[in-house]
Amino acid sequence: MREDSSFVIENTSMNGNMEEEEFEGVEERDPERNPVNEPLLKRNRTLSSNPLALVGAKVSYIESLDYEINENDLFKQDWRSRSRCQVLQYIFLKWLLAFLVGLLTGIIATLINLAVENISGYKLLAVVEYIQQERYLMGYLYFTGTNFILTFIASILCVCFAPTAAGPGIPEIKAYLNGVDTPNMYGATTLFVKIVGSIGAVSAGLDLGKEGPLVHIGACIASLLGQGGPDNYRIKWKWLRYFNNDRDRRDLITCGASSGVCAAFRAPVGGVLFALEEVASWWRSALLWRTFCSTAVVVVVLRAFIELCHEGKCGLFGEGGLIMFDVSNVAVSYNVMDIIPVAIIGIIGGVLGSLYNYLLHKILRVYNLINQKGKIYKLLLSLSVSIFTSACQYGLPFLVNCTPCESSSCPTNGKSGNYKQFNCPKGLITFGIAVPSGLFLPIILIGSGYGRLLGILMKPYTNIDHGLLAVLGAASLMAGSMRMTVSLCVIFLELTNNLLLLPITMIVLLVAKTVGDSFNPSIYEIILHLKGLPFMDADPEPWMRNLSVGELIDVKPSVVSFRGVEKVANIVEALKNTTHNGFPVMDDDVEVEIVKLHGVILRAHLIKVLKEKWFLKEKRRTEEWEVREKFSWVELAEREGNIEDVGVTKDEMEMFVDLHPLTNTTPFTVLESMSVAKARILFRQVGLRHMLVVPKYQATGLCPVIGILTRQDLLAYNILSVFPHLAKSKGREKRN
């Protein structure tokens, strides 16, 4: 994996002055002494440092993605030569892939739900039978043993075959859509392990589940469809190759993420808004329509399977398996004074959500120290959690007295119903074993619990039903932890199927998010920082307005650049001695005696040139037909190969390469006087990988580019490592 910076050395001193990347690796650290935004991986933080990050449970080198359109001569010629029929075909294929993403996500989500409901259901029926026979020890051993085996299957797959399948996957998807490549995150092996592992973990009753994994599964499906399958068995159809680039892949993964949320909650509009509000860093109206198409297909597939399962063809799966809190039949009645208890629920949700984030941050640090010891420790940790969870689920009901069931949906010990009778005679209820899932469902259950408790305590003071207060409690805790508002509001409306809850739900979400923001970042931001993923937030730090991009460039070595027609030896030397991804291409203007910027050429394109041996014996510009004969724009969009795999003979080293046809002639440039805050906003909104910095005044004979800004250069903690005095101004701004 490659570093994105092009700051390191001058072309004339390539071997002697290269800045080395130093990593101190992963080491044990006291989790109590680390701030929230300290990554789990310790490394020397400098501008343009080569980043390491935790992707899933795997330490990987990461790099940025090329979301910017590379407007070189081949790209322009390709668009000029496309017929109207080919353009319509390209658009049709985009919609077809969006449809297939929704279809496959819906089918896989249904199969996961079928498996979880049947495995968990038959396991519970067997345990209840042991309890009815008063064979409590056998019931416990059967319950714990089954959960142990299911956890072992899920864990061994993640540990040995696909470490990137561990965890929910949503932070990595956020990072990818922000422009950070996450290696091996969307492969076929990861998809398979994610599906089987989710079934095993949820069926085992672990506090993990299928909401986050379903988002990851949808993204994997989208990525595999866009690139024509897994790497080793990729379909090389010509029309599919149009989508084998970072830009189109980003749009497909966005569709996959929204489809996953829709499949988890049966909330098509909520899925689209979740992608817009939470995971996507770049959006446009055409993408909105395609994501809505994907979620519409998902909800149709889910509904079709539910109708099929009503006929008894799906075992224990009926309307269960999908999170549905249908309160459409509940009378919703509230007045102006009820805003007070609703606001109290929001405040408590914000405080508890922040506390949940803080505790999870500490737990993740402790787990990381254990996981660093090796695969066997990862496996033992998962199995230990399984045994502890099973003991709590089986033993806690014996500590509570049976209470009469006053609800219309009382539990049974049969094969139907969402609640089961446990250790009570007929007509009483104490404990319904719920299978929590992901970060969503545990938060929903905790929030529902304190919401109902507050409803009981405030019964004399409010007309709102206890069940509705439980829903508001769940919404408040999710907003307090995840800091989402619009998408959560719509998701809860689609879950409850009651539009009358809209006003009080909006109030709860706004209050909870406001309170939570005053304590710590959202749970996903915390996980992103812990994993070391260089995520770029939408809002720059206020102190960044006091720093110019020219000052950033001053602390970096000179930029590496090429001439328009460059010697092969210089290109090979630069690629072998640097890890840069982009290089400015210059041309001499003899008439006015200045050096002109022609554009930026990517590392992948240079490697492609060397592999194809596209060399010239004399120093000259090539004709247009010569380029089209050797390369196509679709081929250049693919990223493949390393300089180590390229063999160049001694005679070829003395030849030349015309870089003009492959150079992006329209790179984004900024003046050196621009503030870092403004440059950062532009960098994120456009989805850049490189931003060229040019001088305010260009002197005769000097280079027109003084440096290149990359993602690593614009991250706050990297800037503060070079300009520590800015940390003091940052503290003053917070106090003010």
Q: Does residue 422 carry a pLDDT above 70?
A: no
> Mean per-residue pLDDT for 691-712?
84
Residues 6+ apart with CB under 8 A from 420: 124, 128, 411, 412, 413, 432, 433
Within a domain: residue 9? no
Within a domain: residue 486? yes
Within a domain: residue 411? yes
Q: Does residue 310 carry a pLDDT above 60?
A: yes
Contact between 159 and 29 under an 8 Å Cβ cutoff? The reply is: no
Using CA atoms in the order 149, 155, 158, 164, what is the torsion angle rounded to 10 degrees? 140
CATH of residue 436's domain is 1.10.3080.10
In which band, very low, low, confident or very high, does the pLDDT at 320 lie, cut at 50, 70 and 90? very low
**Which segment of 26-40, 93-107, 375-389, 442-456 scores lowest on mean pLDDT?**
26-40
Q: Answer yes or no: do 216 and 167 share one domain.
A: yes
Contact between 152 and 144 under an 8 Å Cβ cutoff? The reply is: no
Phi (first) and psi of residue 201, to 5 degrees: -70, -45
d(CA 720, CA 256): 36
SS3 of 586, please? strand
SS3 of 121, please? helix
**Which segment of 51-55, 109-113, 265-269, 276-280 scores lowest on mean pLDDT?**
51-55
Q: Does residue 497 carry a pLDDT above 50?
A: yes
Task: Please state the three-class secondary structure of 385-432 as a single string.
Answer: HHHHHHHHHHHHHHHCCCEECCCCCCCECCCCCCCECCCCCCCEECCC
Q: Answer yes or no: do 509 and 567 share one domain.
A: no
Q: Answer yes or no: do 310 and 452 share one domain.
A: yes
Within a domain: residue 140? yes
Q: What is the domain count for the chain? A: 2
Within a domain: residue 2? no
Within a domain: residue 24? no
Q: Does residue 511 carry a pLDDT above 60?
A: yes
Of 502, 531, 560, the last residue of a domain is 531
Would you mind telling me the total number of residues written for the chain in this entry?
A: 736
Long-range CB pairs of 110-113 (<8 Å, 24+ gap) are 110/301, 110/302, 110/305, 111/195, 112/195, 112/198, 112/199, 112/210, 112/214, 113/210, 113/317, 113/321, 113/322
Tokens coding 422:
């446990």
**Which segment of 10-19, 454-463, 618-627 scores lowest on mean pLDDT?**
10-19
Q: Answer yes or no: do 584 and 497 share one domain.
A: no
In which band, very low, low, confident or very high, does the pLDDT at 260 lie, cut at 50, 70 and 90? very high
In which band, very low, low, confident or very high, does the pLDDT at 433 lie, cut at 50, 70 and 90? very low
In which band, very low, low, confident or very high, does the pLDDT at 369 lie, cut at 50, 70 and 90? confident
Residues 6+ apart with CB under 8 A from 127: 139, 142, 143, 394
Phi (first) and psi of residue 578, to 5 degrees: -135, 165
Q: Answer yes or no: do 246 and 336 share one domain.
A: yes
Angle between helices 440-457 and 339-371 in degrees, nearest 10: 140
Q: Answer yes or no: do 250 and 116 share one domain.
A: yes
Of 531, 550, 581, the last residue of a domain is 531
Helices (H), 161-237: 170-178, 188-203, 211-227
Q: Answer yes or no: do 398 and 547 share one domain.
A: no
Name the residue range of residue 488's domain.
Answer: 106-531
Residue 24: CA count within 13 A, CB half-sphere: 10
Q: Answer yes or no: do 689 and 558 share one domain.
A: yes
SS3 of 473, please? helix
For residue 541, the cross-strand partners are none
Q: Answer yes or no: do 630 and 494 share one domain.
A: no
Phi (first) and psi of residue 186, to 5 degrees: -125, 30
Residue percentage of the chain with pLDDT more than 90: 31
For residue 548, the cross-strand partners are 675
Query: Closest Cα partner for 302 from 322, 278, 275, 323?
Result: 322
pLDDT of res. 7:
32
Query: Closest Cα partner for 534 from 180, 250, 182?
Result: 180
Residues 6+ apart with CB under 8 A from 373: none
Tokens coding 332:
């919703």
Of 489, 515, 531, the last residue of a domain is 531
Within a domain: residue 14? no
CATH of residue 581's domain is 3.10.580.10
Q: Answer yes or no: do 344 and 232 share one domain.
A: yes
Contact between 74 and 662 under an 8 Å Cβ cutoff? The reply is: yes
Q: Answer yes or no: do 517 and 408 share one domain.
A: yes
Within a domain: residue 66? no
Q: Answer yes or no: do 305 and 210 share one domain.
A: yes
Q: Does residue 471 carry a pLDDT above 70?
A: yes
d(CA 692, CA 708): 5
Q: Does residue 203 carry a pLDDT above 60?
A: yes
